[in-house]
Chain A
Amino acid sequence: MSDFEFPEYYSFPPFFTIQPVSATRQKQLALWRDLILKYHTANKEKTLVVHDCTLWKNEGIQRELNRDNVRLICEDFVNNGNGEWEDEAKTRIRIMWKKPEELAGDLLAWADRSGFKGQVCTLYELSSGEDSEGASFEGADEELIRRALAILEERGQVAIFKGDTSEEDGVKFF
């Protein structure tokens, strides 16, 4: 596995029982969202497969989420805008490492910092290029980056040009 360091609460047995008290449950779900995001971001995984996610079970304390609770946590994760169902049957979730708004901010800041203002670069370069190494969107899902760019385009901060392939679409930062 990865060298992802699990947070303390992952070893707290009640974490694996959905809490009946609403206020407590809200915090618990927020912690689950945070864990899912951090785990997938750290491992550069873009997709969560509902029936096959190592997070649901902690062997160390012999606790496991039951199927209903997994469903609940996934729904909450998606409803909160941290991910999207990839299929109708809701078996896979596209993890939004960052919400598009957040990523849009990151993109702008990155362009500013690395001198891409007024320059054109391809979508591929954004997600996998040398210049984006270490950036929050490095290796990010193309769809996610597109959405962030769409937000920026609406604000008039970038312009998008169609390329031959979707990866070759160009972006110009203003």
Chain B
Amino acid sequence: MAYLTSHFLVFTTGSDTLKSIPLKSIVYEGKESVEAYTSFMGRNPKVKFHVRKSDPVAIVKSGQHTSTSFLDVIDGVIVVKSDLQKTILEKLTQALERKEWKNDDSETSKKRPDEGFKASGAGIGGIIRRKKEKQSVASKQIDEAFDGDLESLMRNAKNVITLATKCKAKLSREDGGGEVDELSKMLEGMGIVGGVTKDSAGDNYTSQLAREINDWLIPTLHNKSKTSSTPIINVTDVYVMYNRARGVDFISPKDLIMGLEHAEKMFKGFKRKDFMGVKCVVGKQFREDIVASKILNWVEESGKTVDFLSKNLGVNEVMGKCIVEEVEGGGKLVRDEGVEGTKFFKNEFDRFFEQAGIKA
């Protein structure tokens, strides 16, 4: 029988003797060092180890007899007549490669020699000093850990993008069909898009950025209009969402404004709009009159808050407020500032005005 630990190979020979070979004594240089072979007649499978001469082979005896017939030390080569199974051999090779015993050595060597007594280490002052030292070491370690993590994260993100871009390129060369779309969709879903950068695009930065923004914005707006909400996003949100989609190499707000401006002119797939001073982009599907008539429908029965209207329009409240106020500005809505907050009503003043028969 043979047992393997991370440090020793142990044989039992017969019932009462243990022989152990420390793994660090085995000269391991590739597979040659540990060989299993069978003798001429195919019997008595043997395993051969090369062992450093200097290291003594421990032979643990239990009981009285030692059988040396299993173990011959010949010129630093140990031949074990054993039927070590293949699996054990594999494990042995792995263990030899891992060299666990080395870790032990380094750990023991790390042990600090005892610091002698110093006057500065004595008393409460000393305790405080030691505490402070410990703290500063700890915070330094934390800082390093964070820095390291972030750096490696960014490095990895870049690698993934390079890989993804390669995949994309390869796929598009090969069939250029739906698979590319699928992959890019998948990547975009993971928030990975190889963004246009000033480095990569050079003088074409503006136009390439515009194209990229357009390619991302149009489907985004389109999706919004599909999910019952209004295809409108304010530019601050566009900035956040777009940079998130890029993943790395964020662009500046200035670049985004510029990119949007160009993309609108170049592709005409969306429109930039100013709602009460809030910059937005709206999809082609966006029509103010339809939005207005939707709102008027909702306030037909009773006054509604901006909150309610925003939710029904599927936009955030800032955006909702802008839209509602725009419609109000067009004279279609009126407001009621009551104790429960501001509610918007259909503008009935025109009708009342005519009813009262007032001469304007």
- Chain A residues engaging chain B, CB cutoff 8 angstroms: 7-9, 12-14, 16-17, 19-21, 23-24, 27-28, 30-31, 34, 62-63
Contacts and interface: CB of A to CB of B under 8 A. Distances in A.
Given A23-B331, A27-B353, A30-B360, A17 B348 contact: no
Residues of A contacting B: mostly: helix
Interface of B: 303, 328-329, 331, 334-339, 343, 345, 347-350, 352-353, 355-356, 358, 360
A21 B328 contact: yes
Given A17-B336, A63-B338, A12 B329 contact: no
A7 B355 contact: yes
A19 B335 contact: yes
Contacts of B355: 7-8
A30 B358 contact: yes
Contacts of A21: 328-329, 331, 334
B59 to A, nearest CB: 100
Contact of B336 (A14, A20, A27, A34): A14
A16 B347 CA distance: 13
A13 B338 contact: yes
Ranked 7 nearest A-B pairs via Cβ: A13-B336, A9-B352, A14-B334, A14-B336, A27-B349, A17-B337, A27-B353
Contacts of B343: 13
9 contacts: A8-B355, A12-B345, A20-B328, A20-B335, A27-B350, A27-B352, A28-B334, A30-B360, A31-B358
B341 to A, nearest CB: 12
Contacts of A23: 331
Given A30-B358, A31-B358, A7 B336 contact: no
Nearest to B325: A20
B352 to A, nearest CB: 4
Nearest to B347: A24
A17 B336 CA distance: 5
Given A14-B345, A24-B331, A28-B349, A34 B358 contact: yes
Contacts of B335: 14, 17, 19-20
Interface centre among B303, B345, B347, B355 (most CB of A within 10 A): B347
Nearest to A12: B348
A9 B348 contact: yes
B356 A7 contact: yes
A31 B350 CA distance: 10
Contacts of B339: 62
A21 B344 CA distance: 13
B337 to A, nearest CB: 5
Contacts of A19: 334-335, 349
B302 to A, nearest CB: 9
Contacts of A34: 356, 358
A19 B336 CA distance: 8
